[in-house]
Amino acid sequence: MTNRRLVTSLILAVLATPALAGSYPVSGKWGQSASTEMAPIDCSKLRVIAFNGDQRTDSKGGVPAYRNRTVQASGAGQFRVVDEFTTGQIGNAKVNYTLRVVDADTVEMNLEKGGTVRLRKCK
From first to last of its 123 residues, what are the pLDDT tens digits of the chain? 454 554 344 343 333 334 446 799 999 999 999 988 889 999 999 999 999 999 999 999 788 899 999 999 999 999 999 999 988 788 889 999 999 999 999 999 999 888 999 999 999
Whether 105 is covered by a domain: the verdict is yes
Which pTM value belongs to this model?
0.79
Whether 34 is covered by a domain: the verdict is yes
Cβ neighbors of 66 (< 8 A, separation 6 or more) are 55, 56, 57, 58, 83, 84, 85, 95
Whether 72 is covered by a domain: the verdict is yes
Whether 3 is covered by a domain: the verdict is no
Whether 94 is covered by a domain: the verdict is yes
Range(s) of the domain holding residue 100: 20-121
Q: What is the pLDDT of residue 4?
A: 53
The CATH number assigned to the domain holding 35 equals 2.40.128
The total number of structural domains in the chain stands at 1
